Amino acid sequence: MYSSESKVLTGSNTAEGRSTPAGSAAPGLRRSGDRTAPIATYREVAPRVRRPTSSTTYVPRQTFLAFSPPLVGEEEIHEVVDTLRSDWLTTGPKTRRFEQDFARYVGANDALALNSCTAGLHTALAALGIGPGDEVITTPMTFAATVNVIEHVGARPVLVDVEPDTLNIDPLAIERAISPRTRAIVAVHYSGHPADLDAIEELARENDLFVIEDAAHALPARYKNRTIGSGRNPTAFSFYATKNLTTGEGGMLTGSDEFLERARPFSLHGMTRDALSRYAKGGSWRYEILSPGFKYNMTDIQAAMGLCQLRKLECFDARRREIVETYHDAFAGEDALELPVERHDVRHAWHLYVLRLRADALRIGRDQFIDELTARNIGTSVHFIPVHLHPYYRDRYGYDENDFPVAVSNFERMLSLPLNPRLSSSDVSDVIEAVLDIVHTYRR
């Protein structure tokens, strides 16, 4: 289990500690340093996030601030090189160690390492026997992967609207959508804020449904007194390049012991034995195919990165929270900005910092706001285009744009600001100053 009190390690490839070009910054403004050093090394220093000072003249930063670059250190490089020299590249001892360390971290008995979160969600649906004729209820406020995998097993995705504060799936809307064909609910912990699991699980119990958790954003996160990933629900994490922990591409599945026992062969062709247990001394060449499984296994190269990233996760998490507090403090008084929430009974993983613009206080909309940030050298993103607006889902299921008004009305006014442990205090100040400059320029 993770704890919130830890020393912060930060990459020295941030602008922190570098001198700014002479004469380039106006007094009171901080300029980001160069980014010529591509690789992070670690030092046990927590750079203090300086609160932005009020300034009369806004001067944009000189280099583009990428939305979410990975923070990879020498440790990862050494561990990957060690794997490359080891004669064992695919699923093997490091993958097993990563599974065990990850399980211990989230408080699970065991875990199954895969090559993506998408693979985890697909494997979960298949291992639970969900298929043609079944319905699976989920949210439109997610990346398409959550819904695509429901199509992959031949089931019908049934989308329902989200709650206005967290933008997580709304349990009341789930209740209205349950039919005799419903087999499962896929709850996405949007942006790292856990969905309302008690209410969702009560509906699942009453209607004999599975709950699958899409925890792509939720590492580390807690709902009430449980860590996401520690329970019996099949739960899929993502280690994609932008995620809170990255292996380049990768994922992890947790759940009950019985579930993992069923899921493990599904992730490797449905075979009874993986390569290590066949090729290692004393292993047997024989294997059987128990089901037409997938090729979703993680490699030891990915696991090498994961082992290092996992050791740094508490530090990454602490740094994310520090940046969120700074954003909150800086934006709190602005009528034009609605800030992301953290309900009192959860611990947010803060994968994303999603700002929502208030149309009545601004003369520009979301798209122009993003263009203005780009012009100020600040990278952003939007999470997400609601799934029912994508042509495939719109046309296949005949969705109308207004079928999920909470998702759509929030999508239209949302943007995600940079939030990652690589941001230096001057990067954070640059983001804040750019946002406030746009708000003040375009205030109604």
Ligand X SMILES: Cc1ncc(COP(=O)(O)O)c(C=O)c1O
Any idea which residues carry the catalytic annotation? 243
Task: Match 């803060």 to its residue by tokens.
Answer: 350
Smallest distance from ligand X to CB 116, Å: 3
Smallest distance from ligand X to CB 67, Å: 13
Which residue type occupies 359?
A
Residues 63-122 that bind ligand X (CB under 6 A): 116-118
Q: Which positions ≥6 away from 162 have C-beta within 8 Å?
A: 139, 140, 141, 168, 169, 170, 173, 190, 404, 406, 407, 410
Among 49, 155, 216, 408, binds ligand X (CB under 6 A): 216
What is the C-alpha to C-alpha distance for residues 147 and 170, in angstroms, rounded to an integer? Answer: 17
Among 142, 254, 297, 410, binds ligand X (CB under 6 A): 142
Does the N-terminal peptide bond of residue 384 adopt cis geometry, omega within 30 degrees of 0? yes
Residues 14-73 that bind ligand X (CB under 6 A): none
Smallest distance from ligand X to CB 214, Å: 5
Smallest distance from ligand X to CB 130, Å: 17
SS3 for 398? coil
Nearest to ligand X of 59, 385 (CB atom): 385
Nearest to ligand X of 116, 420 (CB atom): 116
Q: Judging by DSSP bridges, how do beta strands 135-138 and 156-159 pair with one another?
A: parallel
Smallest distance from ligand X to CB 263, Å: 16
Distances (CA, A) of 360 to 187, 357, 417, 429: 32, 9, 21, 26
Residues 251-310 that bind ligand X (CB under 6 A): 251
**Binding-site size, ligand X (CB under 6 A):** 14
Smallest distance from ligand X to CB 382, Å: 12
What the block records as the tokens of 46 is 């927590």
Distances (CA, A) of 250 to 153, 295, 346: 21, 13, 26
Smallest distance from ligand X to CB 143, Å: 4
Distances (CA, A) of 376 to 259, 373, 432: 49, 5, 11
Q: Assess 240 for contact with ligand X (CB under 6 A).
A: yes
Burial 221-251 (b: 16+ CB within 10 A, else e): bbbeeebbbbbebbbbbbbbeebbbbbbbbb
Nearest to ligand X of 40, 117 (CB atom): 117
SS3 for 54? coil
Of 63-71, 198-206, 210-218, 271-279: span binding ligand X (CB under 6 A): 210-218
Among 125, 188, 212, 323, binds ligand X (CB under 6 A): 188
Nearest to ligand X of 168, 227 (CB atom): 168
Of 21-29, 81-89, 199-207, 209-217: span binding ligand X (CB under 6 A): 209-217
Smallest distance from ligand X to CB 237, Å: 8
What is the C-alpha to C-alpha distance for residues 211 and 95, in angstroms, rounded to an integer? Answer: 26
Nearest to ligand X of 192, 421 (CB atom): 192
Under 8 Å between Cβ of 212 and 121: yes
Nearest to ligand X of 121, 204 (CB atom): 121
**Helices first, then strands: H and E counts in the chain:** 13, 15
Nearest to ligand X of 116, 267 (CB atom): 116
Quick one: which of 237, 183, 226, 217 has its CA closest to 351? 217
Other Cβ atoms less than 10 A from the Cβ of 293: the count is 19
Among 146, 233, 420, 426, binds ligand X (CB under 6 A): 146
Nearest to ligand X of 247, 429 (CB atom): 247
Which residue type occupies 165?
D
Among 65, 71, 112, 145, binds ligand X (CB under 6 A): 145
Of 35-43, 214-222, 260-268, 290-298: span binding ligand X (CB under 6 A): 214-222
In the complex, the residues that contact ligand X under the rule CB under 6 A are 116-118, 142-143, 145-146, 188, 214, 216-217, 238, 240, 251
